[in-house]
Amino acid sequence: MHTFLTGSGLFVTVLYVIFVLSLYTGLRRLKPGRNRKRYKVSVVIAARNEENNLKACLDALLAQDYPGGLLDIIIVNDRSTDATRDIAEDYHLRHPRIMLIDVQEVPENFAPKKYALTQGIRAPSAQGEIICTTDADCVPPPSWVSEMITYFEDDVGFVAGFSPIYMKNHKKGIISDFLYMDSIGLATASAGGIGCGTGWTCAGRNLAYRKAVFEEVGGFEDVKHIISGDDDLLMFLILKKTKWRLRYAVSKKASVPSYDDTDVRRFANQRARHSSKFFAYPARVKLASMAIFLFYFAFLFYPVYMLVTWQFLTVYLVMAGSKFLLEMLAIGKGARTFGAKFTITAFVKAYLTHPVVIVLFAIPGSSGKFTWKEREF
């Protein structure tokens, strides 16, 4: 048993080291956007019960420095039970560029957000050659659309961008630090993977893709029954079915902040929702995810085992030291790349809590049972 656990610990550590170093390598390969061609752009937002967020998002979209004649904004009201529709209709009446689409019913076995986005993308009013998506709790900077467009060279079909998460009202605490550092970590994985010519993940809070590419892969048809994944599952379909290239927008001008008001219960359901799409991932992503899970599990398990047996101290120090140094290297590089603030205090908090979150919610999340937007899934 001693030999098996020692070997297993070192093995998963080596796998994790290889993975993180590949992300760092990918980050170093990223280049700024240089395309100067102007496209017709449609920003599509699926909104459900977002009365507290939608105004700020729409004001930010109206303030975009992209030529107004080339930009339309599509708000899809996903059966909201609050004032979301009223707010969207008011903006529509005052601003012709903003269009409102109402979703009354969602077909069986079609994830609500994917259906809402599909209705927006395929609406006659969505004239854009490029589709940009973000969430209603995000506030894009004025340069967002203009900067994202610069990455669409002739062979590029999909562009992902950074979206840091902040707590509303500037609340501070371990959840705030975790969400912020986690958003940098996920962006590091997304950008690093794309920099290496593949893709591991991305955030629907900041995406852009050609409408023709969306149609080429059949939209969300292959993954429509999966509640989550209107972002990375679409990216995987593009990688699998097309020859279009992926890019990652590294400029701070393309960064889209998101403002969360999460509590512990909502946070737990959010993590379970993210984990629920595991079985839809490509084999390589499943294997990488399982290796990371096993590494994090060992990272939490070995200290407990050491207290009982007084063994494995050397193995654990190798694991903990490798994790700390490599994550600080990669995430620090990611933060510098995205123009994000990096503090050692927030990093250490995330370093200690992230394995707990991954291990705690991975298995329940894979069951596909959670609550989101007042709906049971």
Contacts of residue 330, defined as CB under 8 A and 6 or more positions apart, other chains included, come to 20, 21, 23, 24, 27, 188, 192
> CA-CA distances (angstroms) from residue 322 to 20, 174, 196, 334?
10, 23, 22, 18
pLDDT 10s digits, 44-84: 999 999 999 999 999 999 999 999 899 999 999 999 999 99
Q: What is the mean pLDDT of residues 111-137?
A: 96
* pLDDT for the residue 212: 97
Give the integer Cα–Cα distance in Å for 26 and 261: 33
- Cβ neighbors of 45 (< 8 A, separation 6 or more) are 57, 73, 74, 75, 76, 120, 133, 134, 135, 136
209 shares its domain with 233: yes
Q: What is the arithmetic mean of pLDDT over 214-237? A: 94
Question: Do residue 186 and residue 165 come from a single domain?
Answer: yes
**Which carries the bigger pLDDT value, residue 362 or residue 241?**
241
Q: In whole angstroms, what is the distance from residue 131 CA to residue 232 CA?
A: 15
| β 130-133/207-210 pair status | antiparallel
At 316, the pLDDT band (50, 70, 90 cuts) reads confident
Res. 117 pLDDT band, cuts 50 70 90: very high
- Whether residue 39 sits in one domain with residue 17: no
Examine residue 358 and state whether it is found in any structural domain, yes or no. Answer: yes
The arithmetic mean of pLDDT across residues 202-208, rounded, is 95
Whole-angstrom CA distances from 107 to 103, 110, 120, 157, 229 are: 11, 6, 15, 28, 18
Q: Is the pLDDT of residue 168 over 80?
A: no
273 found inside a domain:
no
pTM of this prediction? 0.92
Residue 335 half-sphere exposure toward CB, CA atoms < 13 A: 19
pLDDT given for residue 374 in this prediction: 58
Whether residues 102 and 200 fall in one domain: yes
Whether residue 375 has pLDDT greater than 80: no
Alpha-carbon torsion angle 243, 230, 177, 63, nearest 10: 90
Q: Same domain for 236 and 323?
A: no
Per-residue pLDDT for 356 more than 80?
yes
The confidence score (pLDDT) of residue 327 equals: 95
With contact defined as beta carbons under 8 Å apart, do 256 and 140 qualify?
Answer: yes
The Cα–Cα gap between 343 and 323 comes to: 17
Residues in the chain: 377
What tens digit of pLDDT does each residue of 121-130 get? 999 989 999 9
For residue 367, is pLDDT > 80? no
Whole-number pLDDT of residue 51: 95
Q: What is the pLDDT of residue 7?
A: 80
Asked if 368 contacts 276 with a C-beta cutoff of 8 angstroms, the reply is: yes
**Mean pLDDT value of segment 280-300:** 91
- Which pair of tokens denotes residue 38? 């102007």
- Among the residues of the chain, which ranges form H helices? 2-28, 54-62, 84-94, 112-121, 144-149, 174-195, 211-216, 232-241, 264-275, 283-309, 313-338, 344-366
Of 228, 261, 294, the last residue of a domain is: 261
> Percentage of the chain with pLDDT > 70?
88
Claim to verify: residue 22 and residue 60 sit in the same structural domain: no
| CATH at residue 215 | 3.90.550.10
How much is the pLDDT for 29? 96
* pLDDT in the model for residue 307: 65
CA dist., res. 144 & res. 113, Å (int): 22
5 within 8 A of 297, measured Cβ to Cβ: no
pLDDT of amino acid 179: 86
Residues 204 and 344 in one domain: no
Contact between 236 and 281 under an 8 Å Cβ cutoff? The reply is yes
pLDDT given for residue 279 in this prediction: 80
Specify the number of domains making up the chain: 2
Structure tokens at 350: 């995330």
- 275: pLDDT strictly greater than 90: no
pLDDT for residue 262: 65
Q: Which amino acid appears at position 238 of this protein?
A: I
Residue 264: phi and psi, rounded to 5, are: -60, -45
pLDDT value at position 270? 67
Asked if residue 271 is part of any domain, the answer here is no
Query: Which of 157-171, 214-228, 233-247, 295-309 is predicted with the least confidence, judged by mean pLDDT?
Result: 295-309
Domain boundaries, position 304: 2-26+282-376
Is pLDDT of 371 > 60? no
Which of the listed residues 261, 294, 326 is the one where a domain comes to its end? 261
Q: What percent of the chain has a predicted confidence (pLDDT) above 90? A: 70
